[in-house]
Chain A
Amino acid sequence: MSTTTPPPEHTAGPTDRSTAELTTRPTDRRASAGTGALPSLARVSWARTVLELRQFFRERDAVVFIFAYPLIMLAIFATVFGQGGATVGPEPGIPFAQYFLPGMVATGVMLSSFQNLALSIAVERDEGGLKRLRGTPMPPAAYFLGKMGSVLLTSAIQMVLLIGLGSLAFGIDLPSTADRWLTFAWVFVLGTAAGAVCGVAFSSVPRSGRSASAVVTPIVLVLQFISGVFFVFNDLPTWMQRVAEVFPLKWLAQGMRSVFLPEEAEAFEVSGSWQHEATAAVLVAYLVVGLVLGVRTFRWQRRDDG
């Protein structure tokens, strides 16, 4: 352990330190430096999760366009198109609000995971927040776990509110069997995870934080139109259905329909089946591809910086 060599000479300066006094430890601080235990990954990840949640709910744009958006859309669509007992599908048909709920649930999952992370990370990178974090002993994994944790929590709260709104305000019958809720759980977790890792990977695409929402929002919007969220999937032209099948939102929405629609509605699916295996396969594929791309392309600094 080295001792402090007095620096050559201290130039005299103002000596008033009333506002700038830092307490010095009685012991030689360097003697103990580098020996204290580094905080555990779990502890830092939890601190990150809490901070991310705080940040998210204080950002008005995020709260409106990510958190509240599906709730607002459900309220508007169910009110407008559900008038006079309108139904979807062959007789007796499914009440419009009930048909619309799974689409909004799927949209909520995508917004809270994909759109949230693609935008927030692009902005953090642009503003220098990521670079600042990289210069600390925060384990990089804690950053991603914090993002995941906050996404899962915001998304879960969003689901509770969305399903609650559907049930209480629009009288949608909620599933009563455990296997339905089990389906909900795996589609939700897999969809959120896939959306989150894809959001991390996609955050490197926008050239700047300011352009991020201009790049991300249209993609999300187009997916909503072609994936059976705003329109009944069966009513879409076949080619559009084929395009939508490439992206996860269609599968998320279909998986959620299998949770919230009555059993007879399965026959009304384009394929005549809920296709749970295909849904799981597509979501896992996005999870893996997003993870690989995210790990390979993630940058803590702006593109024009190092």
Chain B
Amino acid sequence: MSPTTAVHVRDLHKRYGPKRAVDGLELSVEHGEIFSVLGPNGAGKTTTVEILEGYRHRDRGEVSVLGTDPQRGDRRWRSRLGIVLQSADDQAELTVAELVRHFATFYPEPRDPEELVAAVGLTEKAGTRVRQLSGGQRRRLDVALGIVGRPELLFLDEPTTGFDPEARRSFWDLLRSLRDEGTTILLTTHYLDEAEQLADRCAVVRDGRVVALDTPAALGGRAARQVMVRWVEDGAARSTTTAEPTALVTALTARLGPGEIPGLEVLRPTLEDVYLSLIGKASDHHLEEVPA
């Protein structure tokens, strides 16, 4: 474990009765990166994150978060973390500004509450009671409460569920500015575009273990480099998957040219295609080997 590692997990196991929620999971998150954990419901994402946050105890394995075992985390350790949980509908009768100011009193060096409310775009709602906020505003308040203590490491569990596209975009900007400030972010999400937009690295979790770990662009390794080429030849639609699309198109030009190849499409699998194949739910024929 290098000194730049913010989160280190080795051979993590956790079971609930007969169900192995986490089954030998390994990952490490470097300081200063946005690390995304992707996976279907029930894959063990939330269990893992809650073990890292100190909410749950592991059955076995090694876990270090900012150099501390979460099961032995003290106030000092907690003051270096920010936690945004999946869903909460608490504190309905307090206002945005009251809550942010209140949570600031827990930390040694809190952010300026007013600046923070502005940063999450809630200045106009500062005097509004929480129960009157929309889902997206509520979520931004959750994040404000999570980062009010200037955390070194921020946990976000499915932060943009229920956001409209514009709210998501400004939320992503907020996360990027946090990273630029040096905050390490561990993000679990259902949304692949979110991981693609934000994450420096992604781990895909399935059945309690990491099945792939890479940058979003490189995720899935070889599969992502398999490109589908479609064209029309002799009036029939043809398609093939290749790792060398340029060579294929050159060959097609020679065969069908000169001029345009009818119906030519060169399709790279999206992160979604790669993801679905990794979690065992291939959506279409993209990643199946089509004989040339």
- A30-B182 CB under 8 A given contacts A7-B200, A19-B173, A51-B94: yes
Q: Given A2-B4, A11-B216, A20-B177 in contact, is the A301-B55 Cβ separation under 8 Å?
A: yes
Asked whether B90 lies within 8 Å of A136 as measured between CB atoms, the reply is no
B123-159, CB < 8 A from A: 129, 145, 149-150, 152
Contact with A14, one of B56, B75, B116, B172 (Cβ below 8 angstroms): B172
- Shortest A66–chain B CB gap in Å is 15
Which stretch (A53-61, A71-79, A179-187, A242-250) binds chain B?
A: A53-61
- Number of A-B residue pairs having CB atoms within 8 Å of each other in the complex: 165
- From B30, B90, B107, A128 is in contact (CB under 8 Å) with B90
Determine whether the beta carbon of B106 is less than 8 Å from that of A138: yes
B292 located at the interface, meaning its Cβ lies under 8 Å from any Cβ of chain A in the complex: no
CB pair A21 B177 closer than 8 Å: yes
Q: Is A164 an interface residue (CB 8 A)?
A: no
Query: How many whole Å from B273's CB to the nearest CB in chain A?
Result: 18
A2 pairs with B3, CB closer than 8 A = yes
Contact partner, A10, options B93, B119, B200, Cβ 8 Å: B200
Report if B238 contacts A (CB, 8 A): no
**In the complex the two chains form, is B76's CB within 8 Å of A4's CB?**
no
Interface flag for B38 (CB, 8 Å) = no
A277 close to chain B: CB less than 8 A = no
Encoded as 1 (CB less than 8 Å from any B CB) or 0, chain A from 6 to 20 comes to 111111011011011
Complex contact B4–A9 (CB within 8 A): no
B170 within 8 A of A: yes
CB distance from A229 to the nearest CB of B (A): 30
| Residue in contact with A55 in the complex, picked from B56, B93, B119, CB distance below 8 Å | B93
Pick the interface stretch among B80-88, B226-234, B256-264: B80-88
Task: Say whether A135 faces chain B, with CB atoms less than 8 Å apart.
Answer: yes
**For the complex, what is the distance from the CA of A139 to the CA of B93, rounded to whole Å?**
23
A39 & B106 in contact (Cβ 8 Å cutoff): yes
Whether A13 touches B176, Cβ cut-off 8 Å, given contacts A5-B31, A7-B33, A30-B182, is: yes
Instruction: Let me know if A135 and B55 touch, CB within 8 A.
Output: yes
Indicate if the CB atoms of A22 and B90 lie closer than 8 Å. no
Size category of the A interface is 35 or more
Chain B stretch 68-121: residues in CB contact (< 8 A) with chain A: 75-76, 78-81, 83, 85, 87-91, 93-94, 98, 102-103, 105-109, 111-112, 115-116, 119-121
- Minimum CB–CB distance from B258 to chain A (whole Å) comes to 37
Counting chain A CB atoms within 10 Å of each CB, the highest count among B56, B111, B120, B150 belongs to: B150
Chain A minimum-CB-distance residue to B176 = A13
Nearest-neighbor residue (CB-CB) of B197 within chain A: A13
Quick check: is A271 within 8 A (CB to CB) of the other chain?
Answer: no
In the complex, which of the residues B88, B89, B106 has the most CB atoms of chain A within 10 Å of its own CB atom? B106
- In the complex the two chains form, is A8's CB within 8 Å of B78's CB? no
| Alpha-carbon separation in the docked complex, A24 to B216 (Å) | 27
**Contact call B215/A33, Cβ cutoff below 8 A:** no
- Determine if A17 and B173 form an interchain contact, defined as CB atoms under 8 angstroms apart: yes
Q: How far is the CA of A7 from the CA of B184 in the complex (A)?
A: 10
Measured in the bound complex, the distance between the Cα atoms of B219 and A8 in whole Å is 14
Q: Which A residues from 7 to 50 make CB contacts under 8 A with B?
A: 7-11, 13-14, 16-17, 19-24, 28-30, 32-39, 43-44, 47
Which residues of chain B have C-beta atoms less than 8 A from A92's C-beta?
A: none
Nearest chain A residue, comparing its CB with the CB of B148? A136
A4 near B90: Cβ-Cβ < 8 Å: no
Q: Which residues of B contact A44 (CB under 8 A)?
A: 105-106
**Chain A positions within 8 Å of B85 at CB level:** 128, 131-132, 135
A127, B94: Cα distance in complex, Å: 14
CA distance A58 to B244 in the complex (A): 67
The answer, among B34, B56, B78, for a CB contact under 8 Å with A137, is B78
- B-chain residues with CB within 8 Å of residue A138 when the two chains form the complex: 106
- Counting CB contacts under 8 A, is A306 at the interface? yes
A38-B75, A131-B55, A132-B90 are contacts. A17–B216 as well, Cβ < 8 Å?
no
Among candidates A20, A39, A128, residue contacting B170 with C-beta atoms closer than 8 Å:
A20
Which of B79, B197, B198, B215 makes the CB contact (< 8 A) with A34?
B79
Q: Which of A2, A5, A23, A54 contacts B98 (CB 8 A)?
A: A54
Q: Evaluate contact between B119 and A22: CB separation under 8 angstroms.
A: yes
Rounded to whole angstroms, the CA-CA distance of A304 and B262 in the bound complex is 58
Tell me, in angstroms, the Cα distance from A139 to B108 when the chains sit together. 13
CB distance from A61 to the nearest CB of B (A): 11
Where the two chains meet, the residues of A that have a C-beta atom closer than 8 Å to any C-beta of B are: 2-11, 13-14, 16-17, 19-24, 28-30, 32-39, 43-44, 47, 51, 54-55, 58-59, 124, 127-129, 131-132, 134-139, 301, 306
Q: List 13 A-B contacts (CB under 8 A).
A: A4-B31, A7-B30, A7-B33, A7-B34, A10-B200, A11-B216, A17-B176, A20-B121, A20-B176, A20-B177, A47-B105, A51-B102, A127-B89
Contacts A19-B173, A301-B55 supplied; 10 other A-B pairs, CB < 8 Å: A5-B32, A13-B172, A20-B119, A20-B173, A21-B177, A34-B76, A47-B105, A127-B88, A129-B90, A135-B53
